[in-house]
Amino acid sequence: MARSLVVVLCAALAFAAGVVPRAARAQTQTWNQEVVTTLAGQLEKSVSGLRDVVRGSPNKDNPLFKRKIYQIIDNLRLIEQSSTSLHSALKKGAGMEETLPTYKRLQQIRRDTEVLAQQVDITAVTRPKLDEAKGILEKIEPYYPNEPEGPAEKSEAK
């Protein structure tokens, strides 16, 4: 049960299922400012308070998990801030290209948190909020493209 809750935490922060191949996560929806802005607002609301939920975990005071829990809480703070920033920028009219760096940052924090979460048991208290965030993130993902190869990746391939 605890392991499945860790998986839920990872998925909620995943913005996409981490097991889906990169190519399968390409932009599949034409950019729709209104839809993405609405989804970003829902995401902002869904991740708000996640830190408080994790702080309520009985494992927070367990010496074996304490440092990891604090790292997860800090990552959740960054996710909350980035979600707020994404929603705010979209409301002001910023488009896909302008908000892509924020979206990518959210993805990176998600990946970092996923690694940490695999080492910590998170209680069922977190499940409803995490499930809600996961669903919204899965709806946002198709509106953003994969990152094209950067200069460093291109030069390494030569």
Q: Residue 112 has what pLDDT?
A: 85
CB–CB of 109/43 below 8 Å? no
Q: Residue 24 has what pLDDT?
A: 42
Q: Residue 126 has what pLDDT?
A: 67
Q: Residue 88 has what pLDDT?
A: 98
Across all residues in the chain, what is the average pLDDT? 77
Q: How far apart are CA 105 and CA 84, in angstroms?
A: 13
Picking from 2, 116, 136, the residue whose alpha carbon sits closest to that of residue 57 is 2
Task: Dig out the tokens for 31 from the structure.
Answer: 């950019």
Q: How far apart are CA 102 and CA 94, in angstroms?
A: 11
**What mean pLDDT do residues 114-123 have?**
75
Q: How far apart are CA 91 and CA 72, in angstroms?
A: 28
Out of 8-12, 23-27, 86-90, 135-139, least confident range:
8-12
Residues 24-45: tens digit of each pLDDT = 456 889 999 999 999 999 999 9
For 2-17+24-144, the fitting CATH number among 1.10.10, 1.20.1260, 1.20.120, 2.170.130 is 1.20.120
Instruction: Output 49 or 9, whichever has higher pLDDT.
Output: 49
pTM of the model: 0.74
Task: List the domain boundaries for the chain.
Answer: 2-17+24-144
